Amino acid sequence: MTSENLRVKVGDLQLRNPTLLAGGILGLTGASLKRVWESGAGAIITKSIGLESRKGYPGPSVAQTPCGLVNALGLPNPGIEYALEEIKVARESKATLLGSVFGRNVEEFEVLASKMEKAGVDAIEFNLSCPHAEDIPMIGQDPKLTKNVLKVRDNLETPIWVKLPGNTHLSNLVEVAKSAEEGGADALVISNTFPAMAINARAERPILGHKVGGLSGQAIRPIGLRLVYEVYKEVEIPIVGAGGVASGENMIEYVLAGASAVEVGMSIIESGLGIFQEICEEASSYLEGRKIKDLVGLAHQNLD
């Protein structure tokens, strides 16, 4: 969906509208990525991809709760070589496409990022924040480690976005965000899912095969808004909000807090692919002729 007042830039990357497919949802095959683009998303993002294929955790890997979905997939993915073939297919649609990658250290990020760059993605998202893949270090909780993996930025032309954890330890999150900025990140994505679990009281045991996971959906939107709001005060680079965006109004909330765009995940699972168009149409009519880019951070205005 393209509407002049919804066009935004995240750093140097021009988006036809501010709704991005969230990493990990429908992002494994070229065909599904294309479908999301055709349904109106402003950009599409692959599932997070590592060097080698990973099976992920045994099921159940998702648990529906009254206030959101808890998942522990364990970063299942086919590995970078296979993913590159799917990216080729996705690129046939001329979509704005981001490759999401995860790794254990700077060397792994270097290989993954250079392969993504050669594949022609428009930006690379470093997933530094999966809350349940214990064998993959949660780099995004540590300012030094975060800056360290961004060393790879020097050898790349492609913008690097850094996806941070749902970290409510605000001073730490701000430190990490500043480190990412110092390290050369082109944008921050705030945030991944929040550490969570679901327990079946009757069976007296955790529901998920992996026991613990991450919460997504509308329950986390007020937390995500606060995180974006706090980080916006401290960095100059653009922020992409993620967490519980289910309507045009929700997207505007993130923009007012300081986000230039948003990722949409759970709402696709709940409402289907028409959600991108719905969000854009609602936001467009809310704007009444204004441009969405002019609303970024407006909730920070001093109203006294």
Ligand X SMILES: Cc1cc2nc3c(=O)[nH]c(=O)nc-3n(C[C@H](O)[C@H](O)[C@H](O)COP(=O)(O)O)c2cc1C
Residue from 32, 71, 179, 250 in contact with ligand X (CB under 6 A): 71
SS3 state at 42: coil
Known binding residue 40? Answer is no
Cβ within 8 Å of residue 263, ≥6 positions away: 20, 21, 22, 23, 45, 189, 240, 241, 242, 245
Is 265 an interacting residue with respect to ligand X (CB under 6 A)?
yes
Q: Which two tokens stand for residue 148?
A: 């360290």
Give 74 or 183: the residue with its C-beta nearer to ligand X: 74
Of the candidates 198, 209, 190, the residue with the CA atom closest to the CA atom of residue 74? 209
Residue nearest to ligand X (CB): 24
SS3 227: helix
- Based on the shown chain and the rule CB under 6 A, indicate whether residue 141 belongs to the binding site for ligand X: no
The amino acid present at 217, given as its one-letter code, is G
Tokens of 50: 């590592």
Looking at the Cβ atoms of 20 and 302, the one nearer to ligand X is 20
Is residue 140 part of the contact set for ligand X (CB under 6 A)?
Answer: no
Give whichever of 179 and 247 is closer to ligand X, judged by the CB atom: 247
CA gap 74, 135 in Å, rounded:
9
Active-site position among 73, 83, 130, 133: 130
Which run of H or E residues covers position 249?
Answer: helix 248-257
One symbol per residue from 175 to 214: x for binding ligand X (CB under 6 A), - otherwise; what is it?
-----------------xx---------------------
Q: How far is the CB of 166 from ligand X (least distance, A)?
A: 8
Residue from 15, 177, 245, 251 touching ligand X (CB under 6 A): that is 245
User: Judged by CB under 6 A, which of 20, 63, 73, 150 binds ligand X?
Assistant: 73
Any catalytic annotation for residue 130? Answer: yes
Is 29 one of the annotated binding-site residues? Answer: no
Site string for ligand X, 225-244 (x = CB under 6 A): -----------------xxx
* 27 to 46: interface string for ligand X, x by CB under 6 A: --------------------
Q: Which is nearer to ligand X, 128 or 256 (CB)?
A: 128
Q: Please identify which residue in 17, 19, 141, 216 interacts with ligand X, judged by CB under 6 A.
A: 216
Bridge partners, 141 (sequence order): none
Q: Judge whether 167 and 174 are in contact, CB under 8 Å.
A: no
Sign of the CA dihedral with 13 first, then 17, 18, and 20 last: negative
Collect all residues with Cβ–Cβ distance below 8 Å to 6 and sequence separation of at least 6.
16, 17, 18, 42, 280, 283, 284, 287, 292
Closest separation in Å from C-beta 289 to ligand X: 28
The first and second tokens of residue 304, run together, are 């006294």
Are 60 and 66 in contact by the 8 Å Cβ rule? The answer is no
Active-site residue numbers?
Answer: 130
Footprint of ligand X on this chain (CB under 6 A)?
Answer: 22-25, 47-48, 69, 71, 73, 75, 100, 127, 163, 192-193, 216-217, 220, 242-245, 263-267
